[in-house]
């Protein structure tokens, strides 16, 4: 297959000989926004992330295979891909472990007052804090029960939490006490001590966390977003954080970088990180293994959505 691969796959260049050895003719481009290094008519397959945000997919008349380096599918034109029987693979599972660890880390920072102790260390101040909280026994609600959600559930369960899930469809998983369909989310939101958002951005999930959702949270609840910024109504979140005893740990935002004048920066009940939760030293090998395995197995099958709508 004639492959265009991009720098979104960090280990792309050093794996070109491997791709050649399994029968692929490869052209490489580092930046996806740059001018294409080949005629789009030449391309039969791509390994990329946001290539089609910068180049019209309709110009790739012979395209039959797409391998994304991301888990989400919101950067590709899904309707066109389906209509043209283009095989689509994502990076489901590649980033799940570091993201799940990050989610637990963020909650523990808030529960164990990490900022308080760090500030005191800098000031050489020996001062105890009597307001630390325990994760054990807390109700954790995970929105999106795909690979990231499952890895989160494993880790919160290990802390003695009761873990519930919300997904597009209801199904059983041993790491969740129960998984409800998303249309029944109002049944479980009020009892949640921690809410973790791991679901993909779709028309149905955009703005899911709105004023009604936030007003249903119990006092002391912590909401963690490691999925997509647009899932939360930002203005509604700011209002709720100002007026209620709730907490937020936010790794993703509707616009990135987060504006310097956003009120979220200065809120004591908020942790902000720069879309960093996916980073881990095991990602490179997991992604490379997946890309090569998928290319070895590709047989021109019709489009398949490996994300299963609510899974990462």
What would the pLDDT profile of 68-86 be if each residue is shown by its tens digit? 999 999 999 999 999 999 9
| Structure confidence at residue 299 (pLDDT) | 54
Identify any residues that bridge with 27 across adjacent strands, giving them in sequence order.
4
| Structure confidence at residue 271 (pLDDT) | 98
* CATH topology identical between 2-94+281-297 and 96-272: yes
CB 3 within 8 A of CB 25: yes
Q: What's the whole-model pTM score?
A: 0.90
Identify any residues that bridge with 248 across adjacent strands, giving them in sequence order.
223, 270
CB atoms < 10 A from the CB of 59, how many? 13
Active-site annotation, residues: 228, 256, 275
Distance CA 244, CA 82 (A): 44
| Structure confidence at residue 307 (pLDDT) | 38
Residues of the chain with pLDDT under 70: 299-312
| 3 state SS for the chain | CEEEEECCCCCCHHHHHHHHHCCCEEEEECCCCCCCCCCHHHCCEEEECCHHHHCCHHHCCCCCEEEECCCCCCCCCHHHHHHCCCEEECCCCCCHHHHHHHHHHHHHHHHCCHHHHHHHHHCCCCCCCCCCCCCCCCEEEEECCCHHHHHHHHHHHHCCCEEEEEECCCCCCCCCCEEEEHHHHHHCHHHCCEEEECCCCCCCCCCCECHHHHHCCCCCCEEEECCCHHHECHHHHHHHHHHCCCEEEECCCCCCCCCCCCHHHHCCCEEECCCCCCCCCCHHHHHHHHHHHHHHHCCCCCCCCCCCCCCC
CATH assignment, 96-272 = 3.40.50.720
| Structure confidence at residue 128 (pLDDT) | 98
CATH assignment, 2-94+281-297 = 3.40.50.720
| Structure confidence at residue 287 (pLDDT) | 98
| Structure confidence at residue 82 (pLDDT) | 97
What six digits make up the tokens of 27? 């052209």
| Structure confidence at residue 302 (pLDDT) | 34
The residues spanned by each domain of the chain are: 2-94+281-297, 96-272
CB atoms < 10 A from the CB of 101, how many? 15
Burial of 293 (0-12, 13-18, 19+ CB in 10 A): exposed
């Amino acid at each position: 297959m004639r492959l265009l691969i991009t720098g979104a796959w960090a280990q792309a260049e050093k794996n070109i000989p491997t791709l050649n050895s399994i029968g692929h003719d490869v052209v490489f481009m580092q930046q996806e926004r740059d001018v294409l290094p080949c005629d789009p008519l030449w391309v039969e397959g791509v390994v990329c992330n946001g290539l089609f945000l910068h180049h019209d997919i309709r110009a790739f008349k012979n395209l039959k295979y797409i391998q994304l380096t991301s888990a989400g599918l919101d950067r590709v034109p899904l309707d066109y891909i389906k209509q043209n029987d283009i095989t689509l693979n994502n990076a489901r599972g590649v980033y799940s472990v570091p993201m799940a660890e990050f989610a637990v880390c963020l909650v523990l920072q808030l529960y164990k007052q990490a900022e308080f102790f760090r500030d005191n260390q800098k000031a050489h101040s020996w001062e105890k804090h009597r307001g630390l909280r325990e994760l054990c026994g807390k109700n954790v609600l995970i929105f999106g029960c795909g690979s990231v959600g499952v890895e989160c559930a494993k880790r919160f369960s290990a802390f003695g939490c009761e873990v519930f899930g919300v997904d597009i469809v209801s199904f059983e998983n041993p790491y969740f006490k129960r998984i409800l369909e998303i249309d029944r989310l109002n049944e479980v939101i009020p009892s949640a001590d921690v809410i973790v958002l791991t679901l993909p951005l779709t028309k149905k999930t955009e703005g899911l966390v709105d004023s009604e959702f936030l007003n249903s949270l119990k006092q002391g609840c912590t909401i963690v977003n490691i999925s997509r910024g647009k899932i939360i109504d930002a203005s509604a979140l700011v209002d709720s954080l100002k007026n209620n005893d709730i907490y937020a740990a936010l790794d993703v935002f509707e616009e990135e970088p987060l504006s310097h004048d956003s009120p979220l920066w200065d809120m004591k009940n908020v942790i902000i990180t720069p879309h960093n939760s996916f980073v881990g030293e095991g990602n490179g090998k997991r992604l490379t293994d997946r890309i090569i395995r998928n290319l070895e197995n590709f047989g021109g099958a019709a489009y398949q959505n490996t994300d299963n709508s609510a899974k990462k």
